[in-house]
Structure 1
Amino acid sequence: MKNVVIGLLGNVKDSRGKGKKRWEQWRPTLGVCQQPDLAISRFELLYHPGDSRLANNVAADIQTISPQTEVRLMPLDLSDPWDFQQVYGCLLDFAENYAFAPEQERYLLHITTGTHVAQICWFLLCEANYIPASLLQSSPDRAQDNPAGKVDVIDLDLSKYDALSSRFQRRHLEGTAFLKSGIATRNHQFNSLIQEIEQVAIRSRAPLLLTGPTGAGKSQLAANVYQLKKRRGSVRGDFVAVNCATLRGDSAMSALFGHQKGAYTGALQARKGLLAKADQGLLFLDEIGELGLDEQAMLLHAIEEKQFYPVGSDNPVSSDFQLIAGTNQDLQAQVQAGAFREDLLARINLWHYPLPGLKDRREDLEPNLDFELAKATEELGYKVGFNQQARKAYLDFALAADALWLGNFRDLNASVQRMATLAEGGRITLDIVQKERQRLGRYWQRDIDPELPLLSEVLSEGQLAEIDLFDQHQLRQVIAVCRQSRNLSEAGRQLFNRSREKKKSSNDSHRLRQYLAKFALSFDDING
């Protein structure tokens, strides 16, 4: 395995000695490359732009004494090497943008050079696994009078550093903000859930189970978890996502596990399968409750043994994947109904996170609205936003108790897309908002009571915009009864069938006529 050293240029220690005398002095960066028992394949040398001349001289000297070592000079955008926040942020940017390959290279983090602030930051980044490396400490060898000095490799035993690491808050913000796509969510329960998912994603390879209604963000969260794991070096393969509801019959086995050529009629070529494609990566099985029992049994074997048999093959295929499962169903109820394997549920249920829908996170609606506007701006190539009156009208509607958000964040995404498309010059006006409110209202009505008539059949858009959702549901039922009745009296008798028995004299047609008049409707309007 190749040794790769990462370190800061020491603008004092690395500049000792002039001319030939420099070879008689201990210079820590150069000394690392002079160790007889430590072959360095590559040296990532970070330096302040003001020290570029020294950096080039040190790189040239390394080439002289260790020609097999590739030196990469990396300038840092750092103005104050003693500013903790600035140094940490600068080194974190380096770590997050570096393509670590721990399966191919051994990383050694040289902590001798740089300010004390930099050394602390190196430690924190290494302890938090932003940098998958061992610490490398170099020092002068005065007893041997050896200008190469000596080095010690330190593998972090975190139990010894609890007292130190507890003084510094780990940078959860980067991870949790990343998992939330940078959205400044305000719901405390959701934020706590995401914070724990970040911890588990970094530290564990065990399956995660994400539950919640359609549109709650399970797919996006799974994709973000993969990106976080990849940045931390815990996955190296691809992100493979599949909606299990699309897998049906014989094709389900083939899609998941692959097949051999000739395994069944029509199998003209061998197929790799999704589990094999996810090797060393992350597999997201959305709507896992839709899998058949046979596929569930094969999946359980693949999770536990990290191998499976393609359809028609006697030779096992190995795949070491990490799994995230998603569902909007109650898997425990499916177990009781015999539709889901209890042993599979036990295996994927170690880390179970129920994601709340949008209606249960109304305080997060406004930051998500801003996120969707930013996405629309990026997609359309120009700024998209509300005028002040339109924004207030939209938020008043969106945050109202009767706003159902049945499709959750998918509804919000679609809503912003429609308004952004209709906005001239990217300016969403009050008129556009009013039309969108009506459109969403009609959509939610149809989804809740698909068999009932739509109010838009008898009311104008302006009238519909003034009616509460509660009244909309009630009025749709009344219209349905009126259309099934021969006259106003018959409809009234059905609608007031209990209260009319308590009255000495009932005038059901009059009561119904008054109710319809509240909405400027008559029996003839409904049946005309």
Structure 2
Amino acid sequence: MRNVVIGFLGTQLDMGKKRRWKPTPSLVAHDHFDVHRLELLYDLKFNRLAHQVKREVEELSPETEVLLQQMDLDDPWDFQEVYGKLFDFARGYGFDEDREQYHVHLTTGTHVAQICWFLLTESRHIPARLIQTGPPGPNEDIPKFDIIDLDLSRYNALQQRFDQLSREYSDQLKNGIETRNPQYNALIDRIELIASNSDEPILLLGESGTGKTQLAERIYTLKLDRRRVKGRLVHVNCATLNGPDALATLFGQRRSYLGQAGTERTGLLREADGGVLFLDEIDELGWNEQSVLLHAIETGRFYPLGSDHEITCRFQIIAGANRDLHTLAAAGQFRPDLLARLNMWRFTLPALRSRREDIEANLKFELSRSERALGTQVGFNADAHEAYLKFATNPATQWPGNFRDFSGSIKRLYTLAPRGRITRTMVEEEIANLRSSWAAATSDTDFTSVHHVLGDAALDIDPFDLVQLARVIHTCQNTPNLSAAGRELFAMSRQKRKTQNDADRLRKYLQKFGLDWETVTSSRGGQD
């Protein structure tokens, strides 16, 4: 392979006959590195020096071909000009990597040129390695010569440090909880990558209680650590922005608004300048507010109420929603153009019932958090721990409130624990309490879902069957597929059967009422 070196003429270091060391001629002074061709970039103002250096190189190494490439620069410190001309040079060069190895000489040229060389080689617009040369040290005759290889995959120690840092950021997003659910871990890894490298909006979807608010806060902390933001996190609950004050709360208000003295308000968007605006429950935001918000996100500008002057501020967006925004947009309840702007990076957080393998790790986390809050140490008795985990991980346990239910349950056990121990009796009482509260909360809404699916035909169903069918529909609408719904509904009886075709059992049950999976789930709420 022939070695080709590309570099700028050193308008200072390559000048003068009595200089002990000149970077460009020194390239051919190394026995271990033969330069077959030297492409020397120079400005016409230094034409004489370029030809002088060419002769010096040819005298030192007659086998080196020196090609002078004229590149005139109005301002060698103008990044746009230097990068643009080097980029054009690279595109028109015609690299032949099968026959030649390319190197870029970093020592000559301005610091701006060195940065441009690095960017072009790192992006492979120039398929080259970098060469750094230097004068010989005291009592040395050979100039310094180093090849910088930008292929980080060859540097195992560096790669391991990058991988470790990435894992630390992912752990930070998981709040240090050792989760095992593959779907959730893959989601967190992707969020870590996006949050570290993109300033575009992030949309967090999922049922209430799946942890959208906590994740948004940790994404902000990650962005702060990665220096992608400098400002604060401003949390906006869009469900509370109702009535005439909604626009003023978001965008601010002048004291003289509506022709009367009032309170001047900064507005939440201005408070988020340079930071992150977290729009929680954005599916509850009014139509007018959506319109003004879209303009502010796209342009970074908006008018406070009563002001004739636009405010300019820049912020990053994280939005959270419990309901399917595409369904709302189709129904005319959410602006499609705002959805398109927010939908750049979209993540749906799985429900707790879909992450049962993570329940034990979250149990440890909730205990530790309660200990820090109350200042006392509490633990489970062995039989109590086993009983609680058996209940919590059972497919029949739906956790309708997700982590809100789970966290509240642990706090109650922790607070009521006598002498710092959670007993089996306490666990059984807590389980009964959860089941009772869930039954009370879902009874009315479940019967409504039966009527929604069957219409007037629901009036002909016996009350006994109505209760059972309501539970089946509720389970189907909150599980990803027919098999998963069957596993939850037949969680106990399936253990006693030799064959466990839960999906077929559920399909036959639905057929009794003239239903199928598609009909039942076509109206599922809050799904993405």
TM-score, normalised by the number of residues in structure 2: 0.56
In 2, distance between residues paired with 1:450 and 1:310?
Answer: 44
Q: Could you give the per-residue CA deviations for residues 103-155 of structure 1, whole angstroms, max 9, x where no partner exists?
A: xxxxxxxxxxxxxxxxxxxxxxxx9xxxxxxxxx999865799xxxx9x9xxx
Cα deviation, residue 269, structure 1: 2.0
Q: Which residue of 2 aligns with 1:224?
A: 218
Amino acid at match of 2:414: A
Q: Which residue of 2 aligns with 1:160?
A: 150
1:284 paired to 2:278:
yes
Q: Which residue of 2 aligns with 1:306?
A: 300
Relative to structure 1, is the Cα distance of residues 355 and 452 closer, same or farther in structure 2, using a 3 angstrom cutoff?
closer
Q: Retained in 2: the 8 A contact 1:260–1:267?
A: no
Q: Which residue of 2 aligns with 1:254?
A: 248
Q: Could you give the per-residue CA deviations for residues 442-481 of structure 1, whole angstroms, max 9, x where no partner exists?
A: 111011114899xxxxxxxxxxxxxxxx99955999xxxx
DSSP-derived class of the 1:168 partner: helix
Amino acid at match of 2:225: R
Amino acid at match of 1:370: K
Q: Retained in 1: the 8 A contact 2:153–2:159?
A: no
Relative to structure 1, is the Cα distance of residues 392 and 473 closer, same or farther in structure 2, using a 3 angstrom cutoff?
farther
In 1, distance between residues paired with 2:286 and 2:347?
Answer: 23
Q: Could you give the per-residue CA deviations for residues 198-225 of structure 1, whole angstroms, max 9, x where no partner exists?
A: 0000000000000000000000000000
In 1, distance between residues paired with 2:133 and 2:445?
Answer: 81
| Aligned-CA RMSD value | 3.3
1:428 to 416, 422, 435: 422
Q: Which residue of 2 aligns with 1:339?
A: 333
Amino acid at match of 2:334: F
1:416 to 410, 435, 445: 410
Cα deviation, residue 404, structure 1: 1.6
In 1, distance between residues paired with 2:390 and 2:322?
Answer: 29
Q: Could you give the per-residue CA deviations for residues 169-217 of structure 1, whole angstroms, max 9, x where no partner exists?
A: 4222101100000000110011000000000000000000000000000
Q: Retained in 2: the 8 A contact 1:245–1:287?
A: yes
Q: Retained in 1: the 8 A contact 2:253–2:307?
A: yes
Amino acid at match of 1:190: Y
Q: Which residue of 2 aligns with 1:268?
A: 262
Cα deviation, residue 251, structure 1: 1.2
Q: Which residue of 2 aligns with 1:385?
A: 379
In 2, distance between residues paired with 1:267 and 1:162?
Answer: 63
Cα deviation, residue 265, structure 1: 7.7
Relative to structure 1, is the Cα distance of residues 397 and 343 closer, same or farther in structure 2, using a 3 angstrom cutoff?
same
DSSP-derived class of the 2:318 partner: strand
2:202 to 202, 208, 220: 208
Q: Which residue of 1 aligns with 2:393?
A: 399
1:243 paired to 2:234:
no
Amino acid at match of 2:266: K
Structure 2's unaligned 5+ residue stretches are 1-121, 123-130, 448-463, 472-528
Amino acid at match of 1:241: H
DSSP-derived class of the 2:283 partner: helix
1:423-462 equivalences under 5 Å are: 423-450=417-444
In 1, distance between residues paired with 2:470 and 2:301?
Answer: 55
DSSP-derived class of the 2:248 partner: helix
Q: Retained in 1: the 8 A contact 2:257–2:306?
A: yes
Cα deviation, residue 297, structure 1: 1.1
DSSP-derived class of the 2:364 partner: helix
DSSP-derived class of the 2:279 partner: strand
In 1, distance between residues paired with 2:153 and 2:371?
Answer: 47
In 2, distance between residues paired with 1:471 and 1:411?
Answer: 28
Q: Could you give the per-residue CA deviations for residues 44-93 of structure 1, whole angstroms, max 9, x where no partner exists?
A: xxxxxxxxxxxxxxxxxxxxxxxxxxxxxxxxxxxxxxxxxxxxxxxxxx
In 2, distance between residues paired with 1:476 and 1:208?
Answer: 35
In 1, distance between residues paired with 2:219 and 2:446?
Answer: 42
1:53-202 equivalences under 5 Å are: 160-164=150-154, 168-169=159-160, 170-171=163-164, 172-202=166-196
Q: Retained in 2: the 8 A contact 1:376–1:420?
A: yes
Amino acid at match of 1:307: R
Q: Retained in 1: the 8 A contact 2:152–2:159?
A: no
1:23-34 equivalences under 5 Å are: none
Q: Retained in 2: the 8 A contact 1:261–1:267?
A: yes
Structure 1's unaligned 5+ residue stretches are 1-126, 128-136, 454-469, 478-528
In 2, distance between residues paired with 1:203 and 1:452?
Answer: 43
Relative to structure 1, is the Cα distance of residues 324 and 266 closer, same or farther in structure 2, using a 3 angstrom cutoff?
farther
Q: Retained in 2: the 8 A contact 1:404–1:444?
A: no
Q: Which residue of 2 aligns with 1:351?
A: 345
In 1, distance between residues paired with 2:352 and 2:419?
Answer: 29
Q: Retained in 2: the 8 A contact 1:445–1:473?
A: no
Relative to structure 1, is the Cα distance of residues 208 and 267 closer, same or farther in structure 2, using a 3 angstrom cutoff?
farther
Amino acid at match of 1:212: G
Amino acid at match of 1:258: G
Amino acid at match of 1:202: S
Cα deviation, residue 378, structure 1: 0.8
DSSP-derived class of the 2:387 partner: helix
Q: Which residue of 1 aligns with 2:314?
A: 320
Cα deviation, residue 241, structure 1: 0.6
DSSP-derived class of the 2:150 partner: helix
DSSP-derived class of the 2:297 partner: helix
In 2, distance between residues paired with 1:144 and 1:451?
Answer: 86
Relative to structure 1, is the Cα distance of residues 165 and 209 closer, same or farther in structure 2, using a 3 angstrom cutoff?
farther
In 2, distance between residues paired with 1:387 and 1:217?
Answer: 28
Cα deviation, residue 387, structure 1: 0.6
Q: Retained in 1: the 8 A contact 2:274–2:313?
A: yes
DSSP-derived class of the 1:259 partner: coil
DSSP-derived class of the 2:231 partner: coil
Amino acid at match of 1:424: P
Cα deviation, residue 160, structure 1: 3.5
Cα deviation, residue 311, structure 1: 1.1
Amino acid at match of 1:168: Q
Q: Which residue of 1 aligns with 2:453?
A: none
Cα deviation, residue 312, structure 1: 1.3
In 2, distance between residues paired with 1:402 and 1:310?
Answer: 51
In 2, distance between residues paired with 1:476 and 1:298?
Answer: 42
TM-score, normalised by the number of residues in structure 1: 0.56
